[in-house]
Amino acid sequence: MGDTVLKCDYLVVGSGAVGMAFVDTLLSETDATIIMVDRYAAPGGHWNVAYPFVTLHQPSQFYGVSSKELSSGRKDKTGLNAGLYDLASGAQVKAYFDDVMRHTFLPSGRVQYFPMCDYQGDGVFTQILSGKTHTVEFKKTVDATHLKTSVPSTHTPNFEIEDGVRFMPLNDLPKLKSAPDGYVIIGGGKTGIDACLWLLESGADPDDMTWIVSRDAWLLNRANTQPSMEFFENTMGAQAGQFESIANATSFDDMYDRLEACGYFLRLDTGVRPTMFHGATISTAELEELRKVKNIVRMGRVSRVGKTEIILAGGTVPTTPEVVHIDCSAGAIANVQIKPVFDGNTITPQTVRSYQPVFSAAFIAHIEAAYESEAEKNKLCAVVPLPNSTQDYLHMTAAMMMNQFHWGQDKSIRAWLLSNRLDGFSDMIARLDKNDKKRMAVMGRLRDNAFPAMAKLQQFISELS
Protein backbone atom coordinates (compact mmCIF):
# COMPACT_ATOMS: atom_id res chain seq x y z
CA MET A 1 0.00 0.00 0.00
CA GLY A 2 1.12 3.58 -0.49
CA ASP A 3 3.06 5.37 2.20
CA THR A 4 1.47 8.56 3.61
CA VAL A 5 3.62 11.19 5.34
CA LEU A 6 2.12 13.00 8.34
CA LYS A 7 3.57 15.79 10.48
CA CYS A 8 3.16 16.75 14.14
CA ASP A 9 5.01 18.07 17.16
CA TYR A 10 4.35 15.00 19.34
CA LEU A 11 3.77 11.44 18.18
CA VAL A 12 2.06 9.64 21.09
CA VAL A 13 2.06 5.86 20.91
CA GLY A 14 -0.80 4.54 23.00
CA SER A 15 -4.20 6.03 23.85
CA GLY A 16 -4.64 4.30 27.17
CA ALA A 17 -5.04 6.19 30.43
CA VAL A 18 -1.40 7.34 30.46
CA GLY A 19 -1.43 8.58 26.87
CA MET A 20 -4.77 10.34 27.34
CA ALA A 21 -3.67 12.09 30.54
CA PHE A 22 -0.42 13.23 28.91
CA VAL A 23 -2.12 14.60 25.79
CA ASP A 24 -4.84 16.36 27.78
CA THR A 25 -2.27 18.42 29.68
CA LEU A 26 -0.25 19.07 26.55
CA LEU A 27 -3.39 20.41 24.84
CA SER A 28 -4.19 22.66 27.79
CA GLU A 29 -0.71 24.08 28.28
CA THR A 30 0.80 24.28 24.77
CA ASP A 31 -0.23 24.89 21.18
CA ALA A 32 1.39 21.63 20.03
CA THR A 33 0.01 19.36 17.35
CA ILE A 34 -0.33 15.71 18.28
CA ILE A 35 -0.81 12.38 16.54
CA MET A 36 -2.04 9.45 18.66
CA VAL A 37 -1.56 5.89 17.44
CA ASP A 38 -3.09 2.86 19.16
CA ARG A 39 -3.78 -0.78 18.35
CA TYR A 40 -7.21 -0.80 19.99
CA ALA A 41 -10.38 0.34 18.23
CA ALA A 42 -11.17 2.89 20.94
CA PRO A 43 -9.21 4.95 23.46
CA GLY A 44 -8.72 3.54 26.94
CA GLY A 45 -6.01 0.95 26.39
CA HIS A 46 -6.47 -2.18 28.52
CA TRP A 47 -9.95 -1.01 29.56
CA ASN A 48 -11.09 -2.23 26.14
CA VAL A 49 -10.45 -5.84 27.18
CA ALA A 50 -10.94 -5.67 30.96
CA TYR A 51 -13.24 -8.13 32.74
CA PRO A 52 -16.86 -6.94 32.83
CA PHE A 53 -17.10 -6.43 36.60
CA VAL A 54 -13.83 -4.51 36.98
CA THR A 55 -13.83 -1.18 38.79
CA LEU A 56 -11.20 1.28 39.85
CA HIS A 57 -9.73 0.38 43.22
CA GLN A 58 -9.10 3.99 44.23
CA PRO A 59 -11.63 6.85 44.12
CA SER A 60 -12.59 8.06 40.66
CA GLN A 61 -11.41 11.56 41.54
CA PHE A 62 -7.83 10.36 41.06
CA TYR A 63 -8.36 8.93 37.58
CA GLY A 64 -8.78 10.10 34.01
CA VAL A 65 -7.54 13.36 32.50
CA SER A 66 -7.02 16.69 34.23
CA SER A 67 -9.60 18.66 32.29
CA LYS A 68 -12.65 16.43 32.83
CA GLU A 69 -14.05 14.97 36.04
CA LEU A 70 -14.69 11.22 36.04
CA SER A 71 -16.23 10.94 39.48
CA SER A 72 -19.87 11.55 40.23
CA GLY A 73 -18.73 13.14 43.49
CA ARG A 74 -20.95 10.75 45.44
CA LYS A 75 -20.17 8.25 48.13
CA ASP A 76 -21.44 4.70 47.73
CA LYS A 77 -24.40 3.95 49.98
CA THR A 78 -24.46 0.19 49.50
CA GLY A 79 -22.05 -2.63 48.86
CA LEU A 80 -18.52 -3.26 50.06
CA ASN A 81 -17.42 0.32 49.30
CA ALA A 82 -20.25 1.88 51.28
CA GLY A 83 -19.35 5.18 52.91
CA LEU A 84 -16.42 5.78 50.56
CA TYR A 85 -16.25 7.73 47.31
CA ASP A 86 -17.40 6.05 44.11
CA LEU A 87 -15.26 3.66 42.07
CA ALA A 88 -15.97 3.96 38.35
CA SER A 89 -16.75 0.73 36.53
CA GLY A 90 -14.76 -0.39 33.53
CA ALA A 91 -17.68 0.52 31.26
CA GLN A 92 -17.77 4.02 32.73
CA VAL A 93 -14.03 4.49 32.30
CA LYS A 94 -14.16 3.32 28.68
CA ALA A 95 -17.07 5.66 27.88
CA TYR A 96 -15.25 8.50 29.65
CA PHE A 97 -12.12 8.18 27.52
CA ASP A 98 -14.23 7.92 24.36
CA ASP A 99 -16.01 11.14 25.36
CA VAL A 100 -12.68 12.91 26.01
CA MET A 101 -11.40 11.88 22.60
CA ARG A 102 -14.55 12.83 20.67
CA HIS A 103 -15.47 16.02 22.52
CA THR A 104 -12.12 17.43 23.69
CA PHE A 105 -9.18 16.09 21.73
CA LEU A 106 -10.50 15.87 18.17
CA PRO A 107 -12.50 19.15 18.20
CA SER A 108 -9.32 20.97 19.23
CA GLY A 109 -8.07 20.54 15.64
CA ARG A 110 -4.63 19.72 17.04
CA VAL A 111 -5.06 15.99 17.63
CA GLN A 112 -5.17 13.30 14.95
CA TYR A 113 -6.18 9.87 16.20
CA PHE A 114 -5.34 6.59 14.48
CA PRO A 115 -6.93 3.57 16.20
CA MET A 116 -6.49 -0.03 15.01
CA CYS A 117 -2.87 0.59 14.06
CA ASP A 118 0.40 -1.23 14.71
CA TYR A 119 3.32 1.05 15.51
CA GLN A 120 6.56 -0.26 14.07
CA GLY A 121 8.95 2.36 15.41
CA ASP A 122 10.81 5.30 13.87
CA GLY A 123 7.57 7.14 13.16
CA VAL A 124 6.07 4.35 11.03
CA PHE A 125 2.70 2.73 11.69
CA THR A 126 0.33 0.50 9.72
CA GLN A 127 -3.44 0.48 9.80
CA ILE A 128 -4.47 -3.06 10.69
CA LEU A 129 -7.62 -3.24 8.55
CA SER A 130 -6.29 -1.66 5.34
CA GLY A 131 -2.58 -2.39 5.54
CA LYS A 132 -1.91 1.25 4.71
CA THR A 133 1.40 2.55 6.07
CA HIS A 134 2.00 6.04 7.43
CA THR A 135 5.26 7.77 8.22
CA VAL A 136 5.20 10.57 10.80
CA GLU A 137 7.63 13.46 10.87
CA PHE A 138 7.68 14.54 14.50
CA LYS A 139 9.67 16.64 16.94
CA LYS A 140 9.21 14.26 19.87
CA THR A 141 7.74 10.83 20.41
CA VAL A 142 5.90 9.77 23.58
CA ASP A 143 5.93 6.07 24.47
CA ALA A 144 2.71 5.77 26.45
CA THR A 145 2.86 1.96 26.23
CA HIS A 146 5.92 1.49 28.44
CA LEU A 147 3.82 0.59 31.49
CA LYS A 148 2.11 -2.24 29.68
CA THR A 149 -0.84 -3.61 31.61
CA SER A 150 -1.34 -7.36 31.38
CA VAL A 151 -5.00 -8.37 31.44
CA PRO A 152 -6.55 -11.80 32.06
CA SER A 153 -8.35 -12.04 28.71
CA THR A 154 -5.11 -11.82 26.71
CA HIS A 155 -2.75 -13.37 29.26
CA THR A 156 -0.94 -16.64 28.54
CA PRO A 157 -0.46 -18.56 31.80
CA ASN A 158 3.09 -19.60 32.64
CA PHE A 159 1.98 -23.08 33.71
CA GLU A 160 0.70 -26.17 31.90
CA ILE A 161 -3.00 -26.88 31.50
CA GLU A 162 -4.07 -30.44 30.76
CA ASP A 163 -6.65 -31.04 28.04
CA GLY A 164 -10.11 -31.36 29.52
CA VAL A 165 -9.55 -28.93 32.39
CA ARG A 166 -12.23 -26.27 32.83
CA PHE A 167 -10.02 -23.19 32.70
CA MET A 168 -10.97 -19.59 32.00
CA PRO A 169 -9.96 -15.98 32.55
CA LEU A 170 -12.20 -14.22 35.05
CA ASN A 171 -13.68 -12.32 32.08
CA ASP A 172 -15.76 -15.45 31.44
CA LEU A 173 -17.14 -15.91 34.97
CA PRO A 174 -20.43 -14.10 34.20
CA LYS A 175 -20.97 -16.55 31.30
CA LEU A 176 -21.38 -19.55 33.62
CA LYS A 177 -24.82 -21.14 33.20
CA SER A 178 -24.75 -23.57 36.12
CA ALA A 179 -22.85 -24.21 39.32
CA PRO A 180 -19.62 -26.18 38.84
CA ASP A 181 -18.20 -28.60 41.43
CA GLY A 182 -16.16 -25.73 42.78
CA TYR A 183 -13.96 -22.76 41.97
CA VAL A 184 -10.17 -22.55 42.02
CA ILE A 185 -8.89 -18.98 41.86
CA ILE A 186 -5.25 -18.92 40.73
CA GLY A 187 -3.54 -15.68 41.78
CA GLY A 188 -3.27 -13.71 45.00
CA GLY A 189 -3.09 -10.20 43.55
CA LYS A 190 -5.77 -7.62 42.85
CA THR A 191 -7.29 -9.72 40.06
CA GLY A 192 -7.62 -12.70 42.36
CA ILE A 193 -9.20 -10.45 44.98
CA ASP A 194 -11.70 -9.18 42.40
CA ALA A 195 -12.57 -12.74 41.33
CA CYS A 196 -13.18 -13.86 44.91
CA LEU A 197 -15.29 -10.81 45.73
CA TRP A 198 -17.40 -11.16 42.58
CA LEU A 199 -18.06 -14.85 43.28
CA LEU A 200 -19.04 -14.12 46.88
CA GLU A 201 -21.26 -11.18 45.95
CA SER A 202 -22.87 -13.31 43.24
CA GLY A 203 -23.84 -16.00 45.71
CA ALA A 204 -21.07 -18.56 45.50
CA ASP A 205 -20.51 -20.57 48.67
CA PRO A 206 -17.09 -19.68 50.12
CA ASP A 207 -16.65 -23.35 51.06
CA ASP A 208 -16.73 -24.17 47.34
CA MET A 209 -13.83 -21.82 46.66
CA THR A 210 -10.12 -22.66 46.70
CA TRP A 211 -7.81 -19.66 46.46
CA ILE A 212 -4.24 -20.30 45.38
CA VAL A 213 -2.10 -17.52 46.82
CA SER A 214 1.56 -17.93 45.93
CA ARG A 215 2.51 -14.81 47.90
CA ASP A 216 0.47 -12.91 50.47
CA ALA A 217 0.38 -9.16 49.95
CA TRP A 218 0.33 -6.04 52.06
CA LEU A 219 -2.76 -4.05 51.09
CA LEU A 220 -3.64 -0.36 51.32
CA ASN A 221 -6.75 0.74 53.20
CA ARG A 222 -9.06 2.58 50.80
CA ALA A 223 -10.39 4.74 53.63
CA ASN A 224 -6.97 6.40 53.65
CA THR A 225 -7.24 7.51 50.01
CA GLN A 226 -10.40 9.60 50.21
CA PRO A 227 -10.09 13.10 48.66
CA SER A 228 -12.27 15.25 50.92
CA MET A 229 -11.90 17.12 54.19
CA GLU A 230 -14.35 14.70 55.79
CA PHE A 231 -11.62 12.07 55.58
CA PHE A 232 -8.73 14.34 56.52
CA GLU A 233 -7.83 12.28 59.60
CA ASN A 234 -7.78 9.11 57.51
CA THR A 235 -5.94 10.45 54.49
CA MET A 236 -3.40 12.80 56.02
CA GLY A 237 -3.33 10.82 59.25
CA ALA A 238 -2.25 7.77 57.28
CA GLN A 239 0.58 9.76 55.70
CA ALA A 240 1.69 11.01 59.12
CA GLY A 241 1.42 7.49 60.49
CA GLN A 242 3.48 6.17 57.61
CA PHE A 243 6.33 8.60 58.25
CA GLU A 244 6.20 8.02 62.01
CA SER A 245 6.28 4.25 61.54
CA ILE A 246 9.29 4.40 59.25
CA ALA A 247 11.16 6.96 61.37
CA ASN A 248 10.72 4.98 64.61
CA ALA A 249 11.27 1.49 63.17
CA THR A 250 14.15 -0.51 64.61
CA SER A 251 14.23 -3.01 61.73
CA PHE A 252 12.65 -3.76 58.37
CA ASP A 253 10.10 -6.14 59.92
CA ASP A 254 9.40 -3.70 62.75
CA MET A 255 8.64 -1.04 60.14
CA TYR A 256 5.90 -3.22 58.63
CA ASP A 257 4.53 -4.07 62.08
CA ARG A 258 4.26 -0.37 62.84
CA LEU A 259 2.72 0.41 59.44
CA GLU A 260 0.08 -2.22 60.08
CA ALA A 261 -0.51 -1.05 63.65
CA CYS A 262 -1.16 2.54 62.54
CA GLY A 263 -3.63 1.39 59.89
CA TYR A 264 -1.55 2.19 56.84
CA PHE A 265 -1.32 -1.46 55.76
CA LEU A 266 -3.79 -4.34 55.92
CA ARG A 267 -3.32 -8.05 55.24
CA LEU A 268 -5.60 -10.98 54.56
CA ASP A 269 -4.31 -13.20 57.36
CA THR A 270 -2.61 -11.64 60.37
CA GLY A 271 -0.84 -14.95 60.94
CA VAL A 272 0.90 -14.91 57.56
CA ARG A 273 3.65 -12.39 56.89
CA PRO A 274 3.29 -10.95 53.36
CA THR A 275 6.21 -10.92 50.94
CA MET A 276 4.43 -9.10 48.11
CA PHE A 277 3.44 -5.47 47.74
CA HIS A 278 1.79 -4.20 44.56
CA GLY A 279 -0.07 -1.26 46.04
CA ALA A 280 -3.51 -2.91 45.80
CA THR A 281 -6.19 -0.96 47.63
CA ILE A 282 -9.10 -2.53 49.49
CA SER A 283 -11.88 -1.56 51.88
CA THR A 284 -12.12 -3.15 55.31
CA ALA A 285 -15.54 -4.55 54.30
CA GLU A 286 -13.96 -6.24 51.28
CA LEU A 287 -11.24 -7.66 53.50
CA GLU A 288 -13.80 -9.18 55.88
CA GLU A 289 -15.64 -10.69 52.91
CA LEU A 290 -12.43 -12.26 51.59
CA ARG A 291 -11.77 -13.83 54.98
CA LYS A 292 -14.86 -16.00 54.44
CA VAL A 293 -12.75 -18.02 51.99
CA LYS A 294 -11.05 -20.51 54.29
CA ASN A 295 -9.42 -22.84 51.76
CA ILE A 296 -6.37 -20.79 50.86
CA VAL A 297 -3.46 -22.70 49.33
CA ARG A 298 -0.01 -21.31 50.07
CA MET A 299 2.32 -23.70 48.26
CA GLY A 300 4.02 -21.30 45.86
CA ARG A 301 3.39 -20.96 42.15
CA VAL A 302 1.33 -23.34 40.02
CA SER A 303 3.31 -25.43 37.54
CA ARG A 304 0.50 -27.61 36.13
CA VAL A 305 -3.28 -27.81 36.29
CA GLY A 306 -4.46 -31.34 35.64
CA LYS A 307 -7.89 -32.93 35.65
CA THR A 308 -7.37 -34.55 39.04
CA GLU A 309 -4.65 -32.48 40.72
CA ILE A 310 -2.94 -29.12 40.66
CA ILE A 311 0.84 -29.24 40.96
CA LEU A 312 2.51 -26.36 42.77
CA ALA A 313 6.07 -25.61 43.79
CA GLY A 314 5.40 -26.86 47.31
CA GLY A 315 2.93 -29.69 46.81
CA THR A 316 -0.32 -30.72 45.15
CA VAL A 317 -4.02 -30.14 45.72
CA PRO A 318 -6.86 -32.27 44.33
CA THR A 319 -9.29 -31.07 41.70
CA THR A 320 -11.83 -32.53 39.28
CA PRO A 321 -12.79 -31.98 35.61
CA GLU A 322 -15.97 -30.24 36.81
CA VAL A 323 -14.15 -27.60 38.88
CA VAL A 324 -13.76 -24.21 37.21
CA HIS A 325 -10.18 -22.94 37.34
CA ILE A 326 -10.00 -19.14 37.07
CA ASP A 327 -6.79 -17.54 35.79
CA CYS A 328 -5.91 -14.47 37.84
CA SER A 329 -2.16 -14.93 37.48
CA ALA A 330 -1.51 -12.06 35.08
CA GLY A 331 0.74 -9.40 36.56
CA ALA A 332 -0.81 -5.95 36.34
CA ILE A 333 2.33 -4.36 34.93
CA ALA A 334 4.35 -6.41 32.46
CA ASN A 335 7.15 -3.93 31.87
CA VAL A 336 8.87 -2.34 34.85
CA GLN A 337 12.21 -1.41 33.28
CA ILE A 338 13.08 2.09 34.41
CA LYS A 339 14.15 4.57 31.73
CA PRO A 340 14.82 8.30 31.86
CA VAL A 341 11.49 10.04 31.37
CA PHE A 342 13.12 12.61 29.09
CA ASP A 343 15.78 11.32 26.71
CA GLY A 344 16.48 13.48 23.66
CA ASN A 345 13.38 13.49 21.49
CA THR A 346 11.79 10.57 23.38
CA ILE A 347 9.48 10.92 26.38
CA THR A 348 8.62 7.77 28.34
CA PRO A 349 5.90 8.48 30.93
CA GLN A 350 6.35 6.45 34.12
CA THR A 351 5.17 6.82 37.70
CA VAL A 352 6.59 9.88 39.45
CA ARG A 353 4.20 9.50 42.39
CA SER A 354 3.31 6.21 44.05
CA TYR A 355 0.04 4.54 42.98
CA GLN A 356 -0.86 7.31 40.51
CA PRO A 357 0.15 6.61 36.89
CA VAL A 358 -2.34 9.02 35.32
CA PHE A 359 -1.43 11.90 37.62
CA SER A 360 2.19 11.10 36.78
CA ALA A 361 1.51 11.33 33.04
CA ALA A 362 -0.24 14.69 33.43
CA PHE A 363 2.58 15.99 35.62
CA ILE A 364 5.24 14.88 33.12
CA ALA A 365 3.36 16.69 30.34
CA HIS A 366 3.30 19.83 32.46
CA ILE A 367 7.04 19.63 33.07
CA GLU A 368 7.60 19.13 29.34
CA ALA A 369 5.53 22.24 28.63
CA ALA A 370 7.01 24.46 31.35
CA TYR A 371 10.74 23.62 31.51
CA GLU A 372 13.54 23.66 28.97
CA SER A 373 16.50 21.78 30.45
CA GLU A 374 16.38 17.99 30.10
CA ALA A 375 18.43 17.63 33.28
CA GLU A 376 15.96 19.75 35.24
CA LYS A 377 13.00 17.88 33.76
CA ASN A 378 14.44 14.52 34.78
CA LYS A 379 15.25 15.80 38.24
CA LEU A 380 11.63 16.83 38.71
CA CYS A 381 10.39 13.59 37.13
CA ALA A 382 12.57 10.99 38.81
CA VAL A 383 10.91 7.60 38.32
CA VAL A 384 9.18 6.10 41.35
CA PRO A 385 9.71 2.36 40.79
CA LEU A 386 6.69 0.07 40.71
CA PRO A 387 6.73 -2.29 43.69
CA ASN A 388 6.66 -6.07 43.59
CA SER A 389 8.27 -7.33 46.79
CA THR A 390 8.04 -5.89 50.28
CA GLN A 391 11.57 -4.50 49.94
CA ASP A 392 10.46 -2.50 46.90
CA TYR A 393 8.30 -0.41 49.21
CA LEU A 394 11.52 1.15 50.54
CA HIS A 395 12.74 2.28 47.12
CA MET A 396 9.29 3.43 46.01
CA THR A 397 8.66 5.50 49.15
CA ALA A 398 12.13 7.06 49.17
CA ALA A 399 11.80 8.09 45.51
CA MET A 400 8.31 9.50 46.06
CA MET A 401 9.46 11.53 49.07
CA MET A 402 12.39 12.95 47.14
CA ASN A 403 10.12 14.02 44.30
CA GLN A 404 7.70 15.64 46.72
CA PHE A 405 10.61 17.51 48.31
CA HIS A 406 11.79 18.86 44.95
CA TRP A 407 8.27 19.85 43.94
CA GLY A 408 7.77 21.66 47.21
CA GLN A 409 10.78 23.89 46.48
CA ASP A 410 9.22 25.14 43.23
CA LYS A 411 6.46 27.75 43.61
CA SER A 412 5.06 27.20 40.11
CA ILE A 413 4.82 23.43 40.66
CA ARG A 414 3.06 23.98 43.97
CA ALA A 415 0.54 26.18 42.17
CA TRP A 416 0.03 23.58 39.42
CA LEU A 417 -0.54 20.81 41.94
CA LEU A 418 -3.07 22.93 43.77
CA SER A 419 -5.06 23.51 40.58
CA ASN A 420 -4.87 20.00 39.14
CA ARG A 421 -7.77 17.73 39.99
CA LEU A 422 -5.70 14.54 39.72
CA ASP A 423 -3.46 15.63 42.58
CA GLY A 424 -6.21 15.24 45.14
CA PHE A 425 -4.36 16.24 48.30
CA SER A 426 -2.81 19.69 47.75
CA ASP A 427 -6.24 21.32 47.79
CA MET A 428 -7.13 19.45 50.99
CA ILE A 429 -4.05 20.85 52.71
CA ALA A 430 -4.60 24.35 51.29
CA ARG A 431 -8.15 24.46 52.70
CA LEU A 432 -7.02 23.43 56.16
CA ASP A 433 -8.15 25.80 58.90
CA LYS A 434 -4.96 26.92 60.67
CA ASN A 435 -6.98 27.28 63.88
CA ASP A 436 -7.95 23.60 63.80
CA LYS A 437 -5.45 22.35 66.35
CA LYS A 438 -6.27 18.68 65.90
CA ARG A 439 -5.69 18.69 62.15
CA MET A 440 -2.71 20.99 62.38
CA ALA A 441 -1.20 18.47 64.80
CA VAL A 442 -1.55 15.80 62.10
CA MET A 443 0.36 18.02 59.68
CA GLY A 444 2.97 18.62 62.36
CA ARG A 445 3.50 14.87 62.79
CA LEU A 446 3.87 14.50 59.05
CA ARG A 447 6.35 17.36 58.77
CA ASP A 448 8.41 16.40 61.82
CA ASN A 449 8.87 12.80 60.71
CA ALA A 450 9.58 13.34 57.01
CA PHE A 451 13.36 13.72 57.17
CA PRO A 452 13.86 11.04 59.86
CA ALA A 453 11.74 8.70 57.74
CA MET A 454 13.87 9.39 54.66
CA ALA A 455 17.04 8.70 56.64
CA LYS A 456 15.62 5.41 57.96
CA LEU A 457 14.54 4.32 54.47
CA GLN A 458 18.07 4.89 53.21
CA GLN A 459 19.43 2.90 56.16
CA PHE A 460 17.15 -0.08 55.46
CA ILE A 461 17.92 0.07 51.73
CA SER A 462 21.64 -0.04 52.52
CA GLU A 463 21.23 -2.91 55.01
CA LEU A 464 19.15 -5.03 52.62
CA SER A 465 21.15 -4.38 49.45
Write down the CATH superfamily of domain 3-149+333-401.
NAD(P)-binding Rossmann-like Domain (3.40.50.720)
Of all helices (H) and strands (E), which one includes residue 289? Answer: helix 284-290
Mean pLDDT over each residue of the chain, to the nearest integer? 95
Assess whether pLDDT exceeds 70 at residue 1. no
pLDDT of residue 153: 64
- Termini Cα distance of the chain: 54
SS3 452: helix
Assess whether pLDDT exceeds 80 at residue 429. yes
Assess whether pLDDT exceeds 50 at residue 179. yes
pLDDT of residue 336: 65
> CA-CA distance, 185 to 208, in Å (whole number)?
11
> CA-CA distance, 176 to 173, in Å (whole number)?
6
Q: DSSP states of 100-150 as a string?
A: HIIIIIGGGTSEEEE-SEEEEETTEEEETTT--EEEEEEEEEEETTSSPBP
Assess whether pLDDT exceeds 70 at residue 150. no
Alpha carbon separation from 457 to 220, 350, 406 (Å, rounded): 19, 22, 18
Assess whether pLDDT exceeds 60 at residue 22. yes
> CA-CA distance, 402 to 383, in Å (whole number)?
10
pLDDT of residue 148: 75
Query: What would the pLDDT profile of 285-344 be if each residue is shown by its tens digit?
Result: 999 999 999 999 999 999 999 999 999 999 999 999 999 999 999 875 544 689 999 999
Assess whether pLDDT exceeds 70 at residue 190. yes
Fold (topology level) of 152-218+267-327: FAD/NAD(P)-binding domain (3.50.50)
Average pLDDT of the segment spanning 67-92: 95
Query: What would the pLDDT profile of 244-264 be if each residue is shown by its tens digit?
Result: 999 999 999 999 999 999 999
SS3 48: helix
* pTM > 0.85: yes or no: yes
pLDDT of residue 156: 86
407 in Cβ contact with 367 (< 8 Å): no
Average pLDDT of the segment spanning 373-393: 96
> CA-CA distance, 177 to 46, in Å (whole number)?
27
SS3 233: helix
SS3 360: helix
pLDDT-based confidence at 154, cuts 50/70/90? confident
Domain boundaries, the chain: 3-149+333-401, 152-218+267-327
Query: What would the pLDDT profile of 48-61 be if each residue is shown by its tens digit?
Result: 999 999 999 999 99
